[in-house]
């Protein structure tokens, strides 16, 4: 058991089931008739992680006694959902571990958790973090079971201070087999940089259709008030001038690089604060004629009233790159609609080019739950259309 005044106790058990990570922001959304103002009340999210550990009788007993001794107070917790493998074998006596440090939350003057063959974690202090390696404060020794350990057998997990936020649950299947569930609130959330995404009109565009998995559910609504005095017809009075399109999208990331990019993108949203462009990927605008490289006129099959096109942003899947434009005018031309774009594309547009609407949205939740599995991480994010 930890000594009074000594280092925080270590929660050493390896995660055996899906890990749940919750990010919580606080945003005050003030809505007016034609716009909204979003005020950030929490600049960095609260991070809550829930681990499940499958342990034998000795492990169950150790977990119960650890919790009994130090339920209140800080723990040192390995972040298994951010664990990565080293890029080279590791030897006893080494003072460096070769690993891409940009894919996890390693910090200088903190600790790294080292687990071999999925066993319990042991600690090594980090002196400095370089782009391609961790420099340790002391040579490795008892952290490794042999003089040389293959990289594929090792998992490196960043360590964070945390507190228990709910009772630890033990579900014993048999006398020698049980599941321990523990939820921790992490301290000292990092400041992650936003990922490099294409942008349009000063806002990022989420352009990876592989991240948005079917089925995509959508709701179309407008804030109204129904006036009913009980004697005459029901009257509908609009409360806002904004049409709101809501969607629930599921994003999936595989591998350490994609998982880290997903986390950085979710961080950049800051809950309900930041807005971004989301393509519909619905191919709403179907071309009726090819376009020359210098043309700004697009002839499409009718899908909306002429006035409804104006001001809408679109995405065009060109062979060279994704292109973004805004519709500035629309007129009827026979059975088709002719749309005027904000500028030409500088290259010919074939008649089969896919064209989608771009919708400016923000997250409609300050609480985001990420499910980390052994192969991939998934998050379902509700979004709502906004003006700015």
- 213: confidence class by pLDDT, cuts 50, 70, 90: low
Q: Is the pLDDT of residue 9 over 80?
A: yes
How far apart, in whole angstroms, are the C-alpha atoms of residue 51 and residue 113? Answer: 16
- pLDDT value at position 6? 57
- pLDDT value at position 1? 47
| 319 backbone φψ class: left, alpha, beta (φ>0; ψ -120 to 50) | alpha
- 181: confidence class by pLDDT, cuts 50, 70, 90: very high
Q: Is the pLDDT of residue 304 over 80?
A: yes
3-class DSSP state of 317 = strand
Q: Is the pLDDT of residue 318 over 90?
A: yes
- pLDDT value at position 20? 96
- pLDDT value at position 264? 93
- pLDDT value at position 114? 97
**Residue 335: CB partners within 8 Å, gap ≥ 6?**
302
In this prediction, residues 64-89 reach a mean pLDDT of 93
- 201: confidence class by pLDDT, cuts 50, 70, 90: very high
Residues 3-41 as b/e (b if ≥16 CB within 10 A, e otherwise) read eeeeebbbbbbbbbeebbbbbbbbbebeeeeeebebeee
Q: Is the pLDDT of residue 351 over 90?
A: yes
- 2: confidence class by pLDDT, cuts 50, 70, 90: very low
- pLDDT value at position 210? 55
Note the pLDDT tens digit of each residue in 128-180. 999 999 999 999 999 999 999 999 999 999 999 999 999 999 998 887 899 99
- What element of type H or E holds 60? helix 57-69
Note the pLDDT tens digit of each residue in 10-66. 999 999 878 999 999 999 998 877 788 899 999 899 999 999 999 999 999 999 999
- 326: confidence class by pLDDT, cuts 50, 70, 90: very high
Q: Which residue has the higher pLDDT, 1 or 119?
A: 119
Please work out, in degrees rounded to the nearest 5, the angle formed at the alpha carbon of residue 134 by the alpha carbons of 130 and 137: 115
Note the pLDDT tens digit of each residue in 92-127. 999 999 999 999 999 999 999 999 999 999 999 999
Cα→Cα distances 315→51, 196, 198, 293, Å:
41, 18, 12, 16
- pLDDT value at position 3? 47
Which tokens in the block code for residue 173? 């299947």
What percent of the chain has a predicted confidence (pLDDT) above 90?
A: 73
The three-state (H, E, C) secondary structure of 197-234, written as one string: CCEECCEEECCCHHHCCCCCEEEEEEEEEEECCCCCCC
What percent of the chain has a predicted confidence (pLDDT) above 70?
A: 96
Note the pLDDT tens digit of each residue in 222-268. 777 888 888 888 888 877 777 777 888 888 888 889 999 999 999 99
- pLDDT value at position 7? 78
- In contact, 133 and 161? CB cutoff 8 Å: no
Question: Counting beta carbons within 10 angstroms of the beta carbon of residue 109, is it exposed (0 to 12), middle (13 to 18) or buried (19 or more)?
Answer: exposed
Q: Is the pLDDT of residue 369 over 90?
A: yes
Residue with tokens 């409360």: 239
In this prediction, residues 319-329 reach a mean pLDDT of 95
- pLDDT value at position 214? 47
Q: Which residue has the higher pLDDT, 224 or 309?
A: 309
- pLDDT value at position 83? 94
Q: Which of 104, 56, 51 has the alpha carbon at shortest distance from 77?
A: 51
- pLDDT value at position 209? 59
- pLDDT value at position 8? 87
């Amino acid at each position: 058991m930890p000594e009074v005044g000594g280092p925080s106790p270590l929660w050493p058990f390896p995660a055996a089931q899906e890990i749940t990570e919750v990010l919580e922001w606080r945003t005050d959304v003030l809505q007016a008739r034609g716009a909204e103002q979003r005020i950030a009340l929490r600049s960095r999210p609260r991070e809550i992680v829930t681990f499940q550990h499958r342990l034998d009788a000795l492990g169950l007993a150790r977990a119960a006694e650890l919790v009994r001794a130090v339920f209140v107070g800080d723990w040192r917790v390995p972040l298994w959902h951010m664990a990565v493998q080293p890029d080279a074998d590791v030897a006893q006596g080494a003072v460096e571990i070769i690993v891409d440090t940009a894919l996890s939350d390693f910090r200088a003057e903190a600790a790294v958790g080292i687990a071999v063959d999925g066993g319990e974690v042991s600690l090594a202090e980090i002196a400095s973090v370089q782009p391609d390696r961790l420099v340790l404060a002391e040579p490795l020794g008892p952290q490794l079971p042999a003089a040389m350990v293959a990289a594929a057998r090792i998992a490196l997990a960043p360590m964070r201070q945390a507190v228990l936020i709910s009772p630890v649950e033990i579900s014993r299947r048999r006398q020698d087999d049980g599941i321990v569930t523990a939820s921790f609130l992490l301290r000292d959330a990092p400041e992650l940089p936003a990922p490099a995404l294409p942008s349009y009109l000063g806002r990022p565009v989420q352009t990876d259709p592989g991240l948005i998995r079917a089925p995509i559910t959508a709701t179309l609504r407008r804030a109204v008030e129904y006036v009913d005095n009980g004697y005459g017809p029901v009257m509908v009075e609009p409360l806002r001038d904004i049409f709101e399109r809501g969607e629930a999208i599921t994003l999936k990331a595989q591998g350490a690089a994609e998982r880290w990019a997903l986390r950085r993108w979710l961080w950049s949203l800051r809950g309900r604060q930041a807005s971004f462009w989301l393509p519909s990927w619905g191919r709403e605008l179907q071309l009726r004629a090819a376009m020359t490289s210098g043309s700004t006129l697009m002839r499409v099959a009718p899908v909306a009233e002429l006035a409804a096109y104006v001001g809408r942003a679109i995405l065009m899947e060109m062979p060279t790159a994704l292109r973004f434009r805004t519709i500035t005018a629309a007129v009827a031309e026979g059975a088709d609609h002719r749309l005027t774009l904000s500028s030409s594309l500088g290259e010919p547009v074939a008649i089969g080019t896919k064209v989608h609407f771009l919708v400016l949205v923000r997250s409609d939740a300050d609480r985001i739950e990420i499910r980390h599995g052994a192969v991939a991480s998934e998050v379902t994010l509700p979004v709502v259309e906004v003006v700015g």
